[in-house]
Structure 1
């Protein structure tokens, strides 16, 4: 895990492998900050959706039991939202290095769209 220093504080930057391992162990809450359209087309299975345009740091769950890890397409939006979470008074926040693109590049499974029917389908990376 890397650390990114910002004016609001330090943000943890997790690799796709670190996120996948923590997700498998039930140690994190994964929050997608992309648009609803992006999420519907493809997303990490089990991720919650809180689009950047409606992002409310105060509505995130507490982190006493599970760490919150944000992600977007490339990690630009999730980095900005992580700063917003820290500015709201949270002590810790993390985001996925490389975003969803990095997740796919690492060949991790996700929920995609079956183009012939429009139905969701599991993609094994």
Structure 2
């Protein structure tokens, strides 16, 4: 994990392995900031959707029990949202380095779309 001091807050950048381990242990809330279309085509099972275009930091869940980790396609949008969350007063916020592309590249499980039927299916 990489950390960056941003004012009085800390921005964390997590690897896909760190995200998967914490997510599997139910220690984090994983929030996908891609578009609804991107999410419907393929997404990490159990990740919440809060698209960048509609992002409102005040609507985020509290962090008393679980850390919030954002992800997008490549890590650019999630870092932008993480920084906006810090500006809104969150003390510790994280995003996933490399985004969903890195998740898929590391062969992590996700929900994809069967191109023959259009139905969602588990990809391992």
TM-score class normalised by the smaller sequence? over 0.9
Deviations 1:18-72 (A, max 9, x none): 0000011000000000000000000111000000000011101001100000000
Residue of structure 2 in register with 1:59 after alignment: 59
1:8–1:51 CA distance, 2 compared to 1 (3 A): farther
2:45 maps to 45
- TM-score, normalised relative to structure 1: 0.95
Root-mean-square deviation over aligned CA pairs: 1.2
SS, match of residue 69 in structure 1: strand
Structure 1 stretches of at least 4 aligned residues deviating more than 2 Å after TM superposition: 4-10
> Do the aligned partners of 2:8 and 2:91 also contact (CA within 8 Å) in 1?
no
Aligned pair count reads 124
Structure 2: 5+ residue stretches without partners: none
Match of 2:14 in 1: 14
Distance 1:62 1:6 in 2: 19
Q: CA deviation at 1:9?
A: 4.2
For structure 1, which runs of at least 5 residues remain unmatched after alignment?
none
Q: Is the 8 A contact 1:29 1:67 kept in 2?
A: yes
